[in-house]
Structure 1
């Protein structure tokens, strides 16, 4: 599933092609996504696209007539191509632009979403209103994390992956940041010192930024808007390496399940 860096890479890829353009038509070839594509998306015909934003893993196409909310789900991809380009299988929704280009959502598994909201109602949208702060902003800092962690006995890995605490720290990046910080993924969130949280917060930011710079992490389905793979996979230290040797101490990495997600750690480096 695309995580925050992959969604941010998609945003960076489509923004220059969309911002400042008018939408001629919203075409829904198949509305059967995670939730049925609502008829209200047709209100965007004739709208000017102001900007393309991101909140957590949601892309927000802000226009003069409302906001299109898009989620890539498990396998969604976005392409900007000439409107005359032949449709391919699983092209479900497209925004046809006045300049002759079109934005297409291709989603083989149909777990993606295309929804509509008025700008003034966006903050209270059911998908957005309970989300925690963005990890790459100043709102995400050690004091905030410590306050959220007070009294919590849950594992720190599932804690930092909780979107009510902070958004976008998906499984890949939680594994990597905890390894770099030397924190065992099963350690209780409420029993970690301020100094260690300061380091973890900094490393979460560093890891996410590095992944964005590398174009995301291509494991199965994700590619960039231009079709190129994300290259951060080449920099993974623990994720997907269960049973292999730690690159730091040569201890064999262990793989367990936490919160139903694969978790890889070094029993020597992480305490």
Structure 2
């Protein structure tokens, strides 16, 4: 599933491709992608004649801002957008097509068919699902060391599932949580109430730096992710532990281990990230 760096990269490239374009009509080929309004025909009719002003992001969601409307889109596992000439053949698994009046299309393709689209009036999208319960943005000024500790410090459940919970901090997924915890030298099964001030500081800095570097690299293309222009991300070449089971730890050379935490595959160095209570 695309995480914050991948969705931010899609946002940036998509904004370059579609900002200022006017929607002439919309074709919905897989109705269940459309979650709001209830009927795909209403969705298509509401969008016709509107112009895309900009593309924004909230957590892992794209916010396509139109004149008076907002389209909230979640890519889920393998959703992707691309801009094509309207007369170009439509690829398999293309489920929603936005036809522009300049002879181009914005096409949404999703092999797994898990993506969602919600249409709102401007302003109401932040008050209703799926955006209304999202936590703080880790690359914005609101994300401070104090804010991180305030969200998690007193909790007694494992740190990794808490970091994955989008109601606390948005945009973090399995890849970047593993990377941040490794850089902070924190075992993923530690509980927040056991962390020392220096560990909180390391974790805060690791989250910020890991995400910022990933955005600069265009995200990580682990499976099928590409940006809005069909280009792969490059941050997978900088990953320190994720996907590197049995490879030497870059800090101490001990083999990277993989096990499950909260149902998610988890990569650590057991020497650099000792469990709570170990010496």
Instruction: Give me the TM-score of the superposition, normalised by structure 1.
Output: 0.95
CA distance in 1: counterparts of 2:206 and 2:39, whole angstroms:
38
Number of residues of Structure 1 aligned to a counterpart in Structure 2:
271
- Residue 37 of structure 1 deviates from its aligned partner by 6.6
SS at match of 1:69: strand
Aligned equivalent of 2:199: 196
Q: For each residue in 1:135-187, what CA deviation from the matched residue of structure 2 results, as whole angstroms up to 9, or x when unmatched?
A: 10111111112122233111111111111110011110000011111111111
Contact kept? 1:160, 1:169, Cα under 8 Å: yes
CA distance in 1: counterparts of 2:205 and 2:105, whole angstroms:
38
- Residue 197 of structure 1 deviates from its aligned partner by 1.6
- Residue 34 of structure 1 deviates from its aligned partner by 7.7
- Residue 198 of structure 1 deviates from its aligned partner by 2.1
Aligned equivalent of 1:240: 243
Change over 3 Å in CA distance of 1:57–1:103 after alignment to 2: same
User: Unaligned 5+ residue runs, structure 1?
Assistant: none
CA distance in 1: counterparts of 2:15 and 2:181, whole angstroms:
32
CA distance in 2: counterparts of 1:16 and 1:55, whole angstroms:
18
Aligned equivalent of 2:21: 21
- The reply on whether 1:182 has 2:185 as its aligned counterpart is yes
Contact kept? 1:38, 1:115, Cα under 8 Å: no
- Residue among 159, 163, 174 paired with 2:162: 159
- Residue 268 of structure 1 deviates from its aligned partner by 1.1
Contact kept? 2:180, 2:203, Cα under 8 Å: yes
SS at match of 2:253: coil
Aligned equivalent of 2:233: 230
CA distance in 2: counterparts of 1:56 and 1:37, whole angstroms:
26
CA distance in 2: counterparts of 1:178 and 1:19, whole angstroms:
37
CA distance in 2: counterparts of 1:254 and 1:34, whole angstroms:
40
Aligned residue runs from structure 1 range 1-271, under 5 A = 1-33=1-33, 35=35, 38-42=40-44, 43-271=46-274
User: Unaligned 5+ residue runs, structure 2?
Assistant: 275-279
Contact kept? 1:142, 1:198, Cα under 8 Å: yes
